[in-house]
Amino acid sequence: MAGDAVRFIRALGFDQVDLLGLSMGGFIAQVIAGEEPRLVRKVILAGTGPAGGHGIDKVPALTIQATLKGALTARTRSSPSSSPGPRTAGRQDAPSCDG
């Protein structure tokens, strides 16, 4: 798969790319970076690890745990009683998204 990705990148005419690898894509991004270091400027790895790496066997259980925690936290935060109202970010004079 890494070879296919490299051929695709080159077919698009890129000399250098930034890679974002999620899960299995992270494994592929690591192979590309290792085999084609001049092609890769930056690599971002998310939800991945080295094959057989320390603790990699715990990733599925930790992922489920984090997903459940996030889902429960999101419900708590989105309940009407706990929400102080809409949040704003950026400049104070930025237009509202409310319409």
Provide the pLDDT confidence category of residue 50 given band limits of 50, 70 and 90: low
Q: Are residues 38 and 65 in the same domain?
A: no
pTM of the model: 0.52
Weakest mean pLDDT among 32-36, 41-45, 62-66, 72-76: 72-76
93 part of a folded domain: no
91 part of a folded domain: no
- Average pLDDT of every residue of the chain: 78
Q: Are residues 43 and 74 in the same domain?
A: no
pLDDT at 90: 47
By residue range, what is the domain housing residue 20?
A: 1-47
Q: Are residues 39 and 74 in the same domain?
A: no
2 part of a folded domain: yes
pLDDT at 96: 54
What distance in Å separates the CA atoms of residue 98 and residue 2, rounded to the nearest whole number? 45
Using CA atoms of 11, 20, 47, 3 in order, give the dihedral in degrees to the nearest 10. Answer: 20
pLDDT at 27: 87
